């Protein structure tokens, strides 16, 4: 059976160490998977933010001597996480990638 260069069969037969496919093969997958993956990233980000909030709710009780420093670290973590999650919403489609 003859394989055309750049076809899925050709890539599978040659082997591909880094799973990089020709752009023509990758485009349909990228188009189908881009939005669902972005939604999953947002859901995971929200779950992580809520987890940090819940996990740090009793910092003052557990470590009263360093509560102020701990609260600063938690607030910084939450701010960075929130900004990154919001960044997922505003990234132009041409810059989005699936990894």
- What pLDDT does 17 receive? 66
Alpha-helical runs (H) found in the chain: 8-14, 23-55, 59-62, 67-90
- What pLDDT does 14 receive? 73
CB 15 within 8 A of CB 29: no
Per-residue pLDDT of the chain (99 residues; tens, 9 = 90+): 677 776 777 777 776 666 677 778 778 887 788 888 888 989 999 999 999 999 999 998 988 999 999 999 999 999 999 999 998 888 887 777 755
Question: Is residue 1 assigned to a domain?
Answer: no
Range of the domain at 62: 8-95
User: What is the rounded distance in angstroms from the CA atom of residue 58 to the CA atom of residue 28?
Assistant: 48
Question: Is residue 2 assigned to a domain?
Answer: no
Burial of 16 (0-12, 13-18, 19+ CB in 10 A): exposed
Domain count, the chain: 1
Question: Is residue 82 assigned to a domain?
Answer: yes
Question: Is residue 50 assigned to a domain?
Answer: yes
């Amino acid at each position: 059976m003859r394989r055309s260069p750049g076809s899925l069969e050709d890539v599978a037969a040659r082997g591909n160490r880094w799973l990089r496919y020709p752009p023509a093969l990758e485009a349909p997958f990228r188009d189908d998977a881009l939005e669902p993956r972005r939604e999953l990233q947002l859901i995971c980000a929200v779950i992580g933010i809520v987890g940090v909030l819940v996990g740090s709710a009793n910092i003052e009780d557990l470590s009263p001597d360093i509560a102020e420093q701990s609260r600063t670290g938690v607030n910084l973590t939450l701010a960075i996480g929130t900004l990154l999650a919001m960044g997922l919403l505003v990234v132009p489609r041409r810059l989005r990638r699936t990894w």
